[in-house]
Amino acid sequence: MVYKIVFRPAARADLKALYSYIAKQADHRVAGAYIDRIEASCRSLAIFPERGTVRDDLFPGVRVIGFEHRASIAFIVEADTVRILRVLYGGQMFPKDWSAE
């Protein structure tokens, strides 16, 4: 079974903010390549979504995988869909209220 990948608005906002941050620190080419790799990592969850660390302490059903030692991808698996909730970079804290995600 191949799962559908859906980026929640908060995850899209995280990616845009991360792109802007990296583009200011390096350049747009570097930022674009990094975001492309994160998105590819998220899309790879379509084949094997039951990976990562289950973090029920954050929110029931949330799983987290690391990305290149600097980012964390938080997602949830529902029926035939993987919902990317957040993409947190460089030690950002997980949200306290996931219902707003």
**Domains within the chain, CATH numbers bracketed:** 4-94 (3.30.2310.20)
Structure confidence at residue 98 (pLDDT): 66
Give 99's pLDDT tier (boundaries 50, 70, 90): low
Calpha distance 44→50 (Å, rounded)? 11
Question: What average pLDDT does range 8-25 have in this prediction?
Answer: 94
Calpha distance 31→24 (Å, rounded)? 9
Give 93's pLDDT tier (boundaries 50, 70, 90): confident
Structure confidence at residue 14 (pLDDT): 94
Residue with the bigger pLDDT between 93 and 25: it is: 25
Residue 58, pLDDT above cutoff 90: no
